[in-house]
Amino acid sequence: MLYIKNAEIYTPHKVIKKGNILIGGSRISKILDRPLPKLPPGTKILDVKGKIACPGFIDVHLQGAGGYDFLDATPLAVWEISRTLARFGTTSYLATTVFKNGKNPHIDVIVRSQELGVGSQGAQLLGIHLEGPFVNPKKKGMIRLNGIKDCSLTSLNKILKITKGKLRMMTIAPELNGAMEIIKRLKKKKIIASFGHSDATVEETKKGIEAGVTHATHIFNAMRQFHHREPGPLGAIFLDDRVSVQLISDGVHIHPEVIKLIVRLKGVENIVLITDSMSSLGLPDGKYVYDGWEYESRNGACRYKDGTLIGTSLPLNRMVQQMVKFGGVNLTKALQMATINPAKVLGVDTRKGSIEEGKDADLVIMDKECNIFMTLISGNIVYSKSPLGR
């Protein structure tokens, strides 16, 4: 067993000053606001000396990290991405990638990695998020044309066969011919249909929501923009509480004032922080390659040579920090957007996303500036910056 003492614990209900957490195996056994009088024999004691203990972060949208991306199609890539994410407090994630016309060895590797537990010493792989292939070429962003297909149930069935039950989310443009049938099938399969890479009107977006869209991929980015005579997808998404939104809170993808507006319109409970990270996450500024195209990572933002913004190099702990800075919310609310909110979207909130007795012991030890000192997954310390004392 592991006993974490002298922690500032962020629970769903309150912040416990000088709290203590007892972990038994992979689960949280007890949460206490006073020292446990007697510890079970053989319990390891970890004194975090007043640092914050919060739930592990959950990222539903990232392409890579640590010099690797999922298109590398190797178990090593998944392993290193998972290890890198854990360094920054992410304990669970969806492998985000594209489905190409032709062979998709990278998807086979992701599926096998999840089945075999590759990356078990880092963040836990919860499944696949496909951006496409049923997206609008007008709003393709970083998606290459060979990753875009016409909507058909035949193509979807092929995807479902290849992903072997590991597909958890698909970004789709509802205005495309045949998209409604795809969305309905995804809903039936309990796969999250996420609006994105779309040029839909407000009415087309509403139809998509009625068919089963419940989420929106990197809100404002790669979608038709708001106009007072044609509000587009944003007019529908912001007014419908059934739809949660992914938010990149770096201050580059979305202006800080717009971040505040999103909080005002959607509410804290309907916002999911994401990184949309590339292979350059955790690495210095410089030039890297994604899907055969060179991009530059600078000050946390990633762009192709033509200036197209394609993602970030910022980890989720920095997105939480920036959300406090730009979003006008406190740390408790910012953490909610990176923990329990994505857990609810994925349907894993009964075991992840918050510090509660009986839940998975996925924990982060950090300071108020969101600097990570330790990451625990299923009760195991998978990253430690330095000994915190005993």
Q: What is the pLDDT of residues 241-278, one digit of tens each?
A: 999 999 999 999 999 999 999 999 999 999 999 999 99
pLDDT in tens, 317-332: 999 999 999 999 999 9
Confidence of residue 353 (pLDDT cuts 50, 70, 90): very high
Q: What is the pLDDT of residue 278?
A: 98
Count the alpha carbons within 13 Å of 23 in the hemisphere toward its beta carbon: 23
Q: What is the pLDDT of residue 263?
A: 98
Q: Does the structure show a pLDDT above 80 at 83?
A: yes
pLDDT in tens, 112-125: 999 988 756 899 99
- What is the Cα–Cα distance from 289 to 105, expressed in whole angstroms? 18
Q: Does the structure show a pLDDT above 90 at 389?
A: no
Mean pLDDT of the chain: 96
238's CB contacts (< 8 A; 6+ apart) are: 265, 266
Closest CA to 312 of 4, 19, 64, 42: 64
Confidence of residue 390 (pLDDT cuts 50, 70, 90): very low
Q: What is the pLDDT of residue 369?
A: 97
Q: Identify whether the C-beta of residue 310 lies closer than 8 Å to the C-beta of residue 295.
A: yes
The CA R_g of the chain, rounded to the nearest whole Å, is 20
* Sheet containing 271-273, strands listed edge to edge, beginning at the edge strand earlier in sequence: 57-62, 90-97, 124-131, 167-172, 192-195, 213-216, 244-247, 271-273
Write down all domains in the chain, each with its CATH number in brackets.
Answer: 2-54+354-384 (2.30.40.10), 57-346 (3.20.20.140)
Q: Does the structure show a pLDDT above 70 at 351?
A: yes
Q: What is the pLDDT of residue 142?
A: 87
Ramachandran bin of 208, using left for φ above 0, alpha for ψ from -120 to 50, beta for the remaining angles:
alpha
Q: What mean pLDDT is predicted for residues 311-322?
A: 98
Largest CA distance in the chain: 69
Q: pTM for this one?
A: 0.97
pLDDT in tens, 194-230: 999 999 999 999 999 999 999 999 999 999 999 999 9
Catalytic residue IDs: 276
